[in-house]
C-alpha cells in the first residue's frame, strides 16, 4: 500500500507571487478588465483570493471555541461561472445545544461600467437561512447584479464549539485558485495533527507567540467530539499559541477522471485533527496521535467496545442456532446467515452504535456498527477470535494521517492463524470475504480487545470471477440461437444478485434487454440467487439476427457476438490520477458455435495470449475449428488492480487490443 | 427505562389489529405480480370555508418486497399557511399484529427546498427501515390550512406494480362553495361516484396493478383520477373568485401581477437607447430579450405568496436575478416600456408535454413564460435562460396548451410545435481510411429545431469538456482524437453547426485478409424498443426528427473494394429509412443515409410493428462493405 501514498504525492511545484491588493473591498480595475484567466483561458471562474483564518480562543461561558474568518474574491468570466455566485454554508449542530454560528456575512459584486468600478452590496434579500434538520443548518447567499467578467467578494465568520475535528481547509477547486492563505492558531495545550492532501505540495510555516487570558475557570467542557474535559486554572494565564500558516499560489483546477475513485482524495487540502490536550496541570487528554491510538480511542468509547462485551441478549438464540454445528466453518456460516437474515441495515454508516446493540437486535434494525459489532460479539461468543475492522468508505476518501474521522464504517473480522476473513452483516446477499464495492477503499484496520490494531487488506482472497459457456447455432439466414450458462463468484456474483434478487423471471429477462438491446432472451433462470455461499448460476436462451453479416453469400461473425468488449472504457488521452480497478478479477468465455450445413470456415482470427507488465493483466483468445464446430476460449484476468498514472497508456492500449481482437470476424463460406 | 417503555407499547396494541391487516385477507389476484398492495386509502377533506380546510389522510399498505417500499411515503408537507395537526404510523407483521408505532415526535422536521435556492416549504418525515417482509404500514396525518386553492386530488393508482384493495375520497363542503371537478380516465377502472351540493365521494375497490410500458403515454393519461378546485378560494391570504379562465386570468392580473411592473427612469432610458433605430417591433423585442438574458440569471426563491407572485420588476432590475415569474414579469415590463404588449403565460413544464387542462379552471402549471403577440405569430420567450434563442422553446415547454394572462382575463393558446422536418440533424463528412487502418477526416454537423437544444450548449464548454462530450457521443469510436473543433451558433435561424477533424483507431473489423467497414460511421441508435407480448397502452412518439448523413470515404491504395450492399429503403407509417453506397471510383465511395421518425400516437396493436421497424433500422445501420488487400 506504500505505493499508493507515492502515487498521490506526485510532485509539481507552483510558487509565484503577485503584487495585488487583497484587502476586502479593494477590487482593482485591472482585475475587472481581465477577460480570461491567464493560465487557464477556458476557466469559467477563478478564485482570485481565498483567506482562511482560524483561532481557538477561550470564551468564559462556552469554553474553548474555534473562530474562523473566511474571505473570498472570485472572478466570474462567463455565465457558466455564475454558479459560483451562489454559496452554501453548512453549520453543524450536535445533539446537545452545541451549534455553529455564522456572523458578519457581507459581500459585494463589482462590475466595470464605462470604465468605472461599480459596487453592488449583498443585502438581506439575498441571504437565506434554512434549518435542514436537527443536525445542520444551511445559510445560502446569492450575489446581486452578476454579469460576465464581474468579481464577487464576501467575508464571514463562523464560531464553532467543535474544536477537535473540523472540515478540511480546501485549497483546490474545479476552477483555478490564484492565491490562498491559511492561518491557524491554537493555544499550546491543543496538539493538532495535520493531514496534508492532494498532489500539489505546500509548505506549512509554524511559529509561536505569547497570549494571555484573564478568566477564572474551573468547569467541565465539551471537547466537541463527545466527552468532556476538566479545566482548572488561575485568574490570569499566559500561554504560548501555535500558529501555522500556508500560502499557495496558482493552484490548477481539479478535473474528474474515470476509474479514479473519489476525486476529493486528490484535492489540495489541509485537515487539522486534535490529537491530545495537555493542560497546565499536566493532565493529558488524548484524542488521536497515530492509528494505534485512534483505534484505542474508538475501542474505549461506550458505543463501540462496550457493545462487543454484551452477549446476554443473543445468548439463548445463539445456543439454539449452534446446536449440531459440524465445524467452525459451519458455525461461522450459521451465525453470519442468522445476522444477515435477522438484521436490517438502515443505510446509515458509522462505527459507533446508534442506539445500542440490544435495542437494534430487538427491532431487527441498525446502522453498520450496530449490526457488525453484534456480529463480532456473536463470533466471539461462539469461540472465534473475532474483532471489528474499521473502514473508510469510498465517499469518505482516503485519510493520509490518523484521525477519528478517517474511518466511517466497521465490519467483523475473524482471525485464524493464517488469515483474517471479513464479514459484513449489513449485506443480506453478502458472503464471507466479499465486501460491497463502496467499502473497497484503501485498507481496513482490525482492532483487538487488548487495544492493539493493525492494517488488513479489504479485497477478497480470491478474484471475482465470471465463467460463461455459450453454445449457439448459426443459420445461413443470419440468425444465431443458443444458450448461455454463467457462473459467478465473489463480487461479480454479489453485483448480479443485487440486480436480480427481487425481480420476477419475466422482469429479469426484460432487464437484460437494456444490456443487449437486439437480443431476445428467454427462459432465464438462476440457481443460488439467494444463497450467497454458493456460486451464482444464470442460464438462458437467446436468439438474434443482429450479429451475422451476410455479404455476397459469405457469413461474417465475431464469435463472442454480443459479449464482445465493444468500447474501450479509457477515453482520455492522458491522466494524472491513479487507476483503481477495485479488485482482481477473472472473466472467462467458452464458446461453441455450430456452423450451418454446406458451409465451411474460410478464415479464422489468430489466437493470442498476451500479458501486461509482470502479469498485471492477461488476455487469452484461443480459437479453433473442427468438423463444423468452432471453439473459442477467451480469458481476461486482472491480477493487479491499482496502477499509477504512468501505466495509463499501456492499460488503455491493452484494453484497445482486446476490443480490436473481439471484433475480428470469422468468415464462413459455402462449400 | 427502555424496558418500561417496551411494556407500555405492548399494552397499547389494539385487539382488532391482530387480524384486520393479516395479509391472508388480501384477495389472491391482488397479491400476484405486485410489489405492494394498498389495503385501504382514505382521503377525507373538510372544506369548512374559503379559508379553512382540513385534510385527513389515512393509508394502509402491505409491502411484499423492497421494490414495494416506494408505495409508502411517510412524509407530510406544510408551510406558513398550513400546519400538521397530527401524524403517526404503525407497522404490522404478516399476521396483522402491530409491531411498531411511531408518534409525531419520531418524525423529523426538515426543509423541503428541493431544487430551489430557498423555499419556506417544510415537511415532517419518518426515517423508516422495515425489519421484515412482508409487512403492513399504516400512516395517518391531519393537516389544516387556510389556503384552499389546492384541494388534494384523488389519484388512487399512483404506482406501477401496486394493486389497490380499497381507496376512497370524500370532500365535505358544508358551505356549498361552488366547485369545479373533473374525473379523468373514468373508463380505466370501476369507480363509484356520488356528487351532491355538500359532498363529493369517489371510491374504488380491487384494482389490479398497472404496468409501466415504454414509449407509452403519461401515467396520468391512463390511470383514473379526480381533480377538484373551488371557484372561491384563498391563496396564501389572497382571496379569489373564479368561474372561468377569463375570471382566473383577471384575478391573476389584478391580485398577483398588477403594480409589479414599474421600472426606474434610468432603466427605461437605457432600453429606449437600446432599441432606438430599430423599427420592426419584433426586432425590438429580440433586442430587449437579449438584453434581459445578458443582465440576469435564474435564482429560485419561494416564500409565501411569492410562490405565486412575481417579485417587483425593479427588484429584478437591481439584483440581476429572479425566478421564472420574476424574470418573465421583468421582461414584460421592459417590453412594455417600449410599447410592446406581452402576456405572462402559465405552462406545465417538462419534456412530457402536459397541457393546461382547458376544461378545468384552477391554478395549474408549474412555470411561466412570456407570450408576445405579433400579427403573424405568437412569440414565446423563455426568460430563465441566458442562452436560448429568441422565440425558441426546448422540450421544457414546447407543443402544449398554455394560459396567457391578458388584461381581459385568461386566454388559452398553444406553444410552438417542432415537426420532424424542423428537428433536423445533418451530417457531412470526408473520411479517409489510412493504410494503418486508422480512420480520419473532417465533418460538419448542423442541428435545428429540438436537435438544436441538445447541441447548442457545446459552445459554452471548455475544450477538454467538449472533447469528452464527443467521446461519449460517439462512444463506439475508440481512441478518438479530435482537433480543429469549431462551432457556429446562428440564433436567428436557430441552427447550430459543429465542425471538426477526427481520427479513430480500431474502427474496422478484420476477417482474415478482408476488412469489414460500416460506412455509417457516426449514427448509433441506442434506444431500441423490446417487443411486448401484451401491450396495453398506445405508442407515443413525442418528437419526431430527421437525420441525414452524407459521407465520402477514401480507401487506402493497398486495398481493393470487394463488395458493397444494395440500397436499403424502409417505409412505414412510423417513418422512413434509406441508406446506400455509391461507388464513385475504385478508391472512393459515397454513403448516404436518411432516417425520418414521425411524431405520432398509435394504437397499442402497432407497437410491435414499430419495434420491428426500429430493429430493421438498427440492422441496416450495421451494413458493411468489404475490401481485400491487393
Residues of chain A with CATH 3.10.620.30: 293-457
- Nearest Cα to A14, choosing from A253, A241, A250? A250
- Are residues B297 and A79, on separate chains, in Cβ contact within 8 Å? yes
CB contacts of A518 in chain B (<8 Å) are 528, 615, 618-619
The per-residue pLDDT for A451 is 80
Query: What's the mean pLDDT in B199-207?
Result: 94
pLDDT at A260 over 80: no
Nearest-Cα distance to chain B for A162, in Å, is 23
The per-residue pLDDT for A244 is 93
Query: What's the mean pLDDT in B102-121?
Result: 83
Q: Which residue of A has its CA nearest to B625?
A: A551
Query: What's the mean pLDDT in A208-228?
Result: 63
Q: What is the rounded CA–CA span in Å between residue B394 and residue B450?
A: 6
The per-residue pLDDT for A229 is 57
Residues 6 or more apart in contact with residue B440 via CB below 8 angstroms: B431, B432, B434, B501, B502, B503, B504
The per-residue pLDDT for A222 is 58
- Are residues A142 and B299, on separate chains, in Cβ contact within 8 Å? yes
- Residue where one domain finishes, among candidates B201, B219, B235: B235
C-alpha cell read off for B32: 400476484
Nearest CB to B118: which of A128, A148, A362?
A128
Query: What's the mean pLDDT in B309-317?
Result: 93
* Contact predicate B156/B184, CB 8 Å: no
CB contacts of A89 in chain B (<8 Å) are none
Query: What's the mean pLDDT in B286-299?
Result: 94
Q: What is the rounded CA–CA span in Å between residue A347 and residue A426?
A: 9
- Are residues A517 and B506, on separate chains, in Cβ contact within 8 Å? no
Q: Are B215 and B312 part of one and the same domain?
A: no
Domain count, chain B: 3
- What band does A7 get if pLDDT is binned at 50, 70 and 90? very low
Nearest-10 Cα torsion for B322, B325, B328, B330: -60
Q: Are B132 and B222 part of one and the same domain?
A: yes
Q: What is the rounded CA–CA span in Å between residue A380 and residue A182?
A: 48
**Inter-axis angle of helices B281-295 and B324-336, to 10 degrees?**
140
* Contact predicate B624/B565, CB 8 Å: yes
3-state helix, strand, coil in chain A (%, to 5): 20, 40, 40
Query: Strands B225-230, B98-102: parallel, antiparallel or unpaired by DSSP?
Result: unpaired
Nearest-Cα distance to chain A for B344, in Å, is 24
Q: Are B472 and B552 part of one and the same domain?
A: yes
- Nearest Cα to B231, choosing from B248, B249, B256? B248
- Are residues B563 and A345, on separate chains, in Cβ contact within 8 Å? no
CB contacts of B110 in chain A (<8 Å) are 132-133
Nearest CB to B530: which of A513, A656, A664?
A513
CATH (one of 3.40.50.300, 3.40.640.10, 2.60.40.3140, 3.90.1150.10) for A2-279: 2.60.40.3140
DSSP B518: -
Nearest-Cα distance to chain A for B418, in Å, is 28
Q: Are B293 and B331 part of one and the same domain?
A: yes
- Nearest Cα to A46, choosing from A270, A264, A250? A250
The per-residue pLDDT for A172 is 92
CB contacts of A517 in chain B (<8 Å) are 526, 528, 530, 618
Residues of chain A with CATH 2.60.120.1130: 464-670
Q: Which residue of A has its CA nearest to B294?
A: A147
- What is the DSSP secondary-structure string of A46-111? EEEEEEEEEEEEEETTTEEEEEEEEEEEEEE-SGGGGGGGEEEEEEEB-SSS-B-EEEEEEEEEEE
- Nearest Cα to A466, choosing from A438, A442, A440, A496? A496
- What band does A227 get if pLDDT is binned at 50, 70 and 90? low
- Are residues B509 and A666, on separate chains, in Cβ contact within 8 Å? no
pLDDT tens digits, residue range A394-409?
Answer: 888 877 667 777 889 9
C-alpha cell read off for A578: 491513479
CB contacts of A656 in chain B (<8 Å) are 478-479, 505-506
Q: Are B217 and B275 part of one and the same domain?
A: no
The per-residue pLDDT for A14 is 37
CA–CA distance from A280 to each of A232, A234, A285, A337, B74 (Å)?
Answer: 9, 10, 12, 53, 53
- Are residues B511 and A667, on separate chains, in Cβ contact within 8 Å? yes
Q: b/e per residue, B15-29, with b = 16+ CB within 10 A?
A: eebeebbbbeebeee
Domain presence at residue B419: no
* Contact predicate A452/A296, CB 8 Å: no
Which of B10, B530, B532 has the highest number of chain A CBs within 10 A, making it the mutation to test binding with A? Answer: B530
Burial degree of B357 (CB within 10 A; 0-12, 13-18, 19+):
middle
The continuous run of DSSP H or E covering A493 comes out as: helix A491-500
In a 13 Å sphere around the CA of A123, the CA atoms on its Cβ side amount to: 9
Q: Are B410 and B498 part of one and the same domain?
A: no
CB contacts of B318 in chain A (<8 Å) are 120, 144-145
Q: What percentage of chain B reaches a pLDDT higher than 90? A: 67
Q: What is the rounded CA–CA span in Å between residue B199 and residue B220?
A: 25
pLDDT at A259 over 70: no
Query: What's the mean pLDDT in A652-656?
Result: 93
CB contacts of B566 in chain A (<8 Å) are none
The per-residue pLDDT for B12 is 40
The per-residue pLDDT for B19 is 65
**In this predicted complex, what is the ipTM?**
0.72
Q: What is the rounded CA–CA span in Å between residue A403 and residue A195?
A: 9
The per-residue pLDDT for A1 is 41
Query: What's the mean pLDDT in A529-549?
Result: 90
CB contacts of B387 in chain A (<8 Å) are 79
Phi, psi of A37 (to 5 degrees): -70, 130
C-alpha cell read off for B170: 370524500
- Measured at the CA of B46, the angle between CA B41 and CA B49, to 5 degrees, comes to 155
CA B276 to chain centre: 40
Q: What is the rounded CA–CA span in Å between residue A304 and residue A226?
A: 13
- Residue where one domain finishes, among candidates B391, B414, B437: B414
- Are residues B108 and A86, on separate chains, in Cβ contact within 8 Å? no
Q: What percentage of chain B reaches a pLDDT higher than 70? A: 97
SS3 B315: helix
Supply the mean pLDDT for chain B.
90
Query: What's the mean pLDDT in B558-581?
Result: 94
Q: Are B354 and B256 part of one and the same domain?
A: yes
Query: Strands A344-345, A365-366: parallel, antiparallel or unpaired by DSSP?
Result: parallel
Q: Are B304 and B218 part of one and the same domain?
A: no
Q: Are B522 and B548 part of one and the same domain?
A: yes
- Residue A3, number of CB atoms within 10 A of its CB: 11
Query: What's the mean pLDDT in B578-584?
Result: 96
Least confident of A33-37, A209-213, A311-315, B105-109: A209-213
Domain presence at residue B284: yes
Q: What is the rounded CA–CA span in Å between residue B103 and residue B88?
A: 5
pLDDT at B51 over 60: yes
Query: What's the mean pLDDT in B257-277?
Result: 94
Q: What is the rounded CA–CA span in Å between residue A639 and residue A41?
A: 42
- Residue where one domain finishes, among candidates B194, B212, B235: B235
DSSP B187: G
Burial degree of A191 (CB within 10 A; 0-12, 13-18, 19+):
middle
pLDDT at B58 over 90: yes
Nearest-Cα distance to chain A for B438, in Å, is 12
Q: What is the rounded CA–CA span in Å between residue A398 and residue A35?
A: 38
Nearest-Cα distance to chain A for B357, in Å, is 35
Nearest CB to B108: which of A133, A255, A603?
A133
The per-residue pLDDT for B580 is 97
- Are residues A133 and B563, on separate chains, in Cβ contact within 8 Å? no
Domain presence at residue B380: yes
Nearest CB to B505: which of A120, A656, A667?
A656
Residue with cell 490520477: A577
CATH (domain of B161): 2.60.40.3140
For A293-457, CATH gives 3.10.620.30
Nearest-Cα distance to chain A for B221, in Å, is 24
- What band does B343 get if pLDDT is binned at 50, 70 and 90? very high
Q: Are B83 and B179 part of one and the same domain?
A: yes
Q: How many helices (H) and strands (E) does chain A have?
A: 11, 38
Region label for A170, one of left (φ > 0), alpha (ψ between -120 and 50) or beta (otherwise): beta
- Are residues A665 and B509, on separate chains, in Cβ contact within 8 Å? yes
Q: What is the rounded CA–CA span in Å between residue B475 and residue B478?
A: 7
The per-residue pLDDT for B547 is 97
Q: Are B53 and B165 part of one and the same domain?
A: yes
For A464-670, CATH gives 2.60.120.1130
Query: Strands B162-172, B36-49: parallel, antiparallel or unpaired by DSSP?
Result: parallel
The continuous run of DSSP H or E covering B183 comes out as: strand B179-184
pLDDT at B10 over 70: no
Q: What is the rounded CA–CA span in Å between residue B432 and residue B169?
A: 68
Residues of chain A with CATH 2.60.40.3140: 2-279
C-alpha cell read off for A407: 474511518
CB contacts of A120 in chain B (<8 Å) are 318, 320
CATH (domain of B298): 3.10.620.30
Query: What's the mean pLDDT in A556-582?
Result: 87
- Residue B265, number of CB atoms within 10 A of its CB: 7
Q: How big is the A-B interface in CB pairs under 8 Å?
A: 150
In a 13 Å sphere around the CA of B462, the CA atoms on its Cβ side amount to: 18
SS3 A663: helix
- What band does A223 get if pLDDT is binned at 50, 70 and 90? low
Which of B293, B312, B319, B623 has the highest number of chain A CBs within 10 A, making it the mutation to test binding with A? Answer: B319
Supply the mean pLDDT for chain A.
86
Q: Which domain holds residue B172?
A: 2-235
Phi, psi of A43 (to 5 degrees): -60, 135
Residues 6 or more apart in contact with residue A614 via CB below 8 angstroms: none
Q: What is the rounded CA–CA span in Å between residue A62 and residue A96?
A: 13
pLDDT tens digits, residue range B516-533?
Answer: 999 999 999 887 888 888
Nearest CB to A147: which of B100, B295, B462?
B295
Which of B34, B117, B301, B320 has the highest number of chain A CBs within 10 A, making it the mutation to test binding with A? Answer: B320
Query: What's the mean pLDDT in A346-354?
Result: 86
Q: Are B144 and B101 part of one and the same domain?
A: yes
- Give me Rg for the CA atoms of chain B: 30
The continuous run of DSSP H or E covering A270 comes out as: strand A269-278
Nearest CB to A558: which of B6, B129, B509?
B509
Amino acid at each position: 500500500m506504500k505505493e499508493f501514498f507515492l502515487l498521490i504525492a506526485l510532485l509539481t511545484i507552483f510558487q509565484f507571487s503577485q503584487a495585488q491588493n487583497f484587502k476586502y473591498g479593494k477590487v482593482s480595475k485591472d482585475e475587472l478588465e481581465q477577460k480570461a484567466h491567464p493560465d487557464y483561458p477556458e476557466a469559467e471562474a477563478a478564485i482570485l483570493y481565498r483567506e482562511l483564518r482560524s483561532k481557538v480562543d477561550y470564551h468564559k461561558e462556552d469554553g474553548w471555541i474555534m473562530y474562523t474568518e473566511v474571505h473570498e474574491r472570485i472572478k466570474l468570466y462567463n455565465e457558466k461561472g455564475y454558479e459560483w455566485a451562489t454559496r452554501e454554508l453548512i453549520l453543524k449542530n450536535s445533539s446537545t445545544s452545541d451549534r455553529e454560528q455564522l456572523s458578519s456575512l457581507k459581500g459585494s459584486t463589482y462590475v466595470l461600467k464605462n470604465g468605472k468600478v461599480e459596487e453592488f452590496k449583498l443585502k438581506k434579500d439575498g441571504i437565506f437561512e434554512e434549518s435542514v434538520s436537527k443536525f445542520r443548518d444551511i445559510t445560502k447567499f446569492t450575489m446581486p447584479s452578476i454579469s460576465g467578467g464581474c468579481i464577487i467578494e464576501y467575508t464571514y465568520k463562523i464560531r464553532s464549539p467543535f474544536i477537535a475535528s473540523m472540515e478540511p481547509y480546501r485549497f483546490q477547486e474545479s476552477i483555478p485558485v490564484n492565491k490562498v492563505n491559511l492561518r491557524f492558531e491554537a493555544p499550546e495545550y491543543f496538539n493538532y495533527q495535520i493531514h496534508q492532501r492532494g498532489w500539489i505540495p505546500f509548505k506549512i510555516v509554524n511559529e509561536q507567540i505569547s497570549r494571555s487570558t484573564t478568566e477564572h475557570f474551573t468547569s467541565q467542557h465539551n471537547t466537541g467530539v463527545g466527552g468532556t474535559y476538566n479545566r482548572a486554572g488561575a485568574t490570569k494565564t499566559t500561554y504560548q499559541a501555535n500558529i501555522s500558516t500556508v500560502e499557495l499560489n496558482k493552484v490548477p483546477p481539479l478535473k474528474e477522471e474515470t476509474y479514479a475513485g473519489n476525486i476529493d482524495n486528490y484535492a489540495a487540502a489541509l485537515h487539522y485533527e486534535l490529537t491530545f490536550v495537555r493542560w497546565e496541570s499536566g493532565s493529558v487528554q488524548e484524542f488521536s496521535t497515530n492509528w494505534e491510538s485512534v483505534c484505542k480511542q474508538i475501542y474505549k468509547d461506550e458505543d463501540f467496545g462496550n457493545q462487543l462485551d454484551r452477549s446476554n441478549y443473543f445468548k439463548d438464540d445463539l445456543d439454539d442456532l449452534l446446536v449440531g454445528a459440524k465445524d467452525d466453518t459451519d458455525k461461522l456460516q450459521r451465525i453470519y446467515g442468522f445476522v444477515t437474515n435477522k438484521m436490517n441495515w438502515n443505510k446509515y454508516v458509522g462505527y459507533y452504535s446508534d442506539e445500542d446493540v440490544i435495542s437494534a437486535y430487538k427491532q431487527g434494525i441498525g446502522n453498520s456498527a450496530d449490526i457488525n459489532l453484534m456480529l463480532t460479539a456473536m463470533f466471539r461468543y461462539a469461540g472465534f477470535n473475532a474483532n471489528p475492522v474499521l473502514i473508510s468508505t469510498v465517499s469518505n476518501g482516503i485519510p493520509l494521517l490518523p484521525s477519528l474521522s478517517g474511518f466511517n464504517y466497521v465490519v467483523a473480522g475473524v482471525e485464524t492463524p493464517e488469515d483474517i476473513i471479513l464479514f459484513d452483516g449489513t449485506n443480506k446477499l453478502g458472503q464471507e470475504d466479499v465486501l460491497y464495492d463502496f467499502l473497497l477503499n484503501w485498507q481496513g484496520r482490525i482492532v483487538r480487545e487488548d487495544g492493539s490494531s493493525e492494517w488488513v487488506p479489504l479485497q477478497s482472497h480470491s478474484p471475482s470471477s465470471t465463467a460463461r459457456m455459450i453454445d449457439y447455432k448459426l443459420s445461413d439466414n443470419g440468425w444465431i440461437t443458443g444458450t448461455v450458462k454463467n457462473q459467478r463468484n465473489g463480487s461479480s456474483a454479489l453485483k448480479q444478485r443485487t440486480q436480480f434478487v427481487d425481480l420476477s423471471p419475466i422482469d429479469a429477462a426484460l432487464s437484460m434487454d437494456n444490456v443487449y438491446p437486439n437480443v431476445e432472451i428467454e427462459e432465464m433462470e438462476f440457481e443460488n440467487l439467494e444463497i450467497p455461499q454458493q456460486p451464482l448460476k444464470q442460464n438462458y436462451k437467446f436468439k438474434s439476427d443482429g450479429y451475422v453479416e451476410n455479404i455476397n453469400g459469405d457469413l461474417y461473425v465475431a464469435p463472442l457476438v454480443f459479449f464482445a468488449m465493444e468500447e474501450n472504457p479509457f477515453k482520455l488521452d492522458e491522466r494524472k490520477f491513479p487507476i483503481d480497478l477495485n479488485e482482481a478479477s477473472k472473466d472467462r468465455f467458452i464458446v461453441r458455435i455450430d456452423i450451418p450445413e454446406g458451409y465451411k470456415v474460410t478464415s479464422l482470427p489468430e489466437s493470442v495470449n498476451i500479458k501486461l507488465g509482470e502479469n498485471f493483466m492477461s488476455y487469452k483468445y484461443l480459437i479453433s475449428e473442427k468438423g463444423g464446430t468452432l471453439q473459442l476460449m477467451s480469458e481476461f484476468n486482472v491480477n493487479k488492480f491499482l496502477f499509477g498514472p504512468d501505466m495509463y497508456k499501456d492499460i488503455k492500449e491493452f484494453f484497445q487490443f482486446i476490443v480490436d481482437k473481439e471484433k475480428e470476424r470469422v468468415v464462413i463460406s459455402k462449400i | 427505562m427502555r424496558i418500561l417503555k417496551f411494556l407500555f407499547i405492548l399494552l397499547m396494541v389494539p385487539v382488532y389489529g391482530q387480524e384486520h391487516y393479516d395479509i391472508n385477507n388480501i384477495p389472491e389476484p391482488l397479491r400476484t405480480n405486485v410489489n405492494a398492495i394498498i389495503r385501504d386509502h382514505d382521503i377525507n377533506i373538510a372544506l369548512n370555508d374559503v379559508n379553512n380546510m382540513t385534510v385527513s389522510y389515512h393509508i394502509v399498505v402491505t409491502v411484499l418486497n423492497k421494490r414495494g417500499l416506494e408505495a409508502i411515503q411517510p412524509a407530510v408537507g406544510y408551510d406558513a399557511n398550513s400546519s400538521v395537526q397530527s401524524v403517526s404510523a404503525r407497522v404490522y407483521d404478516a399476521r396483522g399484529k402491530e409491531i411498531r408505532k411511531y408518534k409525531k415526535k419520531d418524525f423529523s422536521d426538515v426543509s423541503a427546498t428541493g431544487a430551489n435556492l430557498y423555499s419556506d416549504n417544510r415537511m415532517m418525515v419518518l426515517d423508516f427501515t422495515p425489519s421484515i417482509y412482508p409487512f403492513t404500514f399504516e400512516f395517518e396525518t391531519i393537516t389544516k390550512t387556510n389556503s384552499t386553492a389546492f384541494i388534494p386530488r384523488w389519484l388512487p393508482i399512483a404506482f406501477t406494480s401496486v394493486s389497490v384493495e380499497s381507496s376512497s375520497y370524500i370532500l365535505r363542503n358544508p358551505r356549498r362553495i361552488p366547485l369545479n371537478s373533473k374525473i379523468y380516465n373514468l373508463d380505466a377502472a370501476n369507480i363509484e361516484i356520488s356528487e351532491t351540493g355538500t359532498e363529493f365521494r369517489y371510491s374504488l375497490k380491487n384494482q389490479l396493478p398497472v404496468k409501466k410500458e415504454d414509449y407509452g403515454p403519461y401515467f396520468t393519461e391512463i390511470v383514473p383520477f379526480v381533480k377538484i378546485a373551488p371557484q372561491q378560494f384563498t391563496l396564501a391570504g389572497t382571496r379569489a373568485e373564479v368561474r372561468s379562465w377569463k375570471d382566473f386570468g383577471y384575478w391573476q392580473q389584478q391580485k398577483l401581477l398588477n403594480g409589479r411592473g414599474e421600472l426606474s427612469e434610468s432603466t427605461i432610458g437605457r432600453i429606449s437607447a437600446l432599441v432606438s433605430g430599430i423599427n420592426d417591433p419584433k426586432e425590438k423585442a429580440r433586442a430587449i430579450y437579449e438584453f434581459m438574458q445578458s443582465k440576469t440569471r435564474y435564482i429560485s426563491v419561494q416564500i409565501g405568496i411569492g410562490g405565486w407572485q412575481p417579485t417587483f420588476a425593479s427588484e429584478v432590475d437591481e439584483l440581476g436575478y429572479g425566478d421564472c415569474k420574476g424574470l418573465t414579469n421583468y421582461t414584460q415590463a421592459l417590453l412594455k416600456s417600449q410599447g410592446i404588449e406581452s402576456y405572462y403565460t402559465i405552462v406545465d413544464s417538462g419534456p412530457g408535454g402536459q397541457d393546461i387542462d382547458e376544461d378545468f379552471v384552477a391554478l395549474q402549471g408549474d412555470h411561466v413564460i412570456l407570450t408576445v403577440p405579433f400579427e403573424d405569430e405568437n412569440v414565446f420567450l423563455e426568460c430563465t435562460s441566458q442562452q436560448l434563442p429568441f422565440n425558441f422553446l426546448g422540450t421544457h415547454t414546447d407543443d402544449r396548451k398554455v394560459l396567457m394572462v391578458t388584461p381581459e382575463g385568461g386566454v388559452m393558446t398553444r406553444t410552438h410545435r417542432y415537426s420532424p422536418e424542423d428537428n433536423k440533424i445533418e451530417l457531412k463528412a470526408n473520411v479517409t481510411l489510412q493504410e494503418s487502418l486508422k480512420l480520419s477526416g473532417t465533418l460538419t454537423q448542423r442541428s435545428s429545431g429540438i436537435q438544436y437544444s441538445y447541441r447548442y450548449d457545446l459552445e459554452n464548454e471548455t475544450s477538454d469538456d467538449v472533447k469528452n462530450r464527443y467521446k461519449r457521443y460517439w462512444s463506439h469510436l475508440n481512441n478518438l482524437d479530435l482537433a480543429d473543433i469549431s462551432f457556429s451558433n446562428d440564433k436567428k435561424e436557430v441552427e447550430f453547426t459543429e465542425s471538426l477533424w477526427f481520427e479513430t483507431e480500431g474502427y474496422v473489423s478484420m476477417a482474415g485478409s478482408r476488412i469489414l467497414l460500416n460506412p455509417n460511421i457516426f449514427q448509433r441508435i441506442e434506444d431500441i424498443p423490446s417487443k411486448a407480448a401484451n401491450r396495453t397502452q398506445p405508442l407515443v412518439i413525442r418528437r419526431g426528427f430527421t437525420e441525414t448523413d452524407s459521407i465520402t470515404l477514401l480507401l487506402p491504395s493497398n486495398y481493393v473494394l470487394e463488395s458493397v450492399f444494395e440500397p436499403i429503403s424502409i417505409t412505414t407509417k412510423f417513418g422512413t429509412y434509406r441508406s446506400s453506397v455509391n461507388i464513385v471510383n475504385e478508391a472512393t465511395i459515397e454513403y448516404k443515409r436518411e432516417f425520418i421518425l414521425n411524431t405520432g400516437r398509435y394504437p397499442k396493436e402497432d407497437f410491435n410493428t414499430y419495434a420491428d421497424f426500429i430493429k430493421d433500422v438498427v440492422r441496416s445501420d450495421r451494413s458493411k462493405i468489404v475490401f481485400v488487400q491487393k
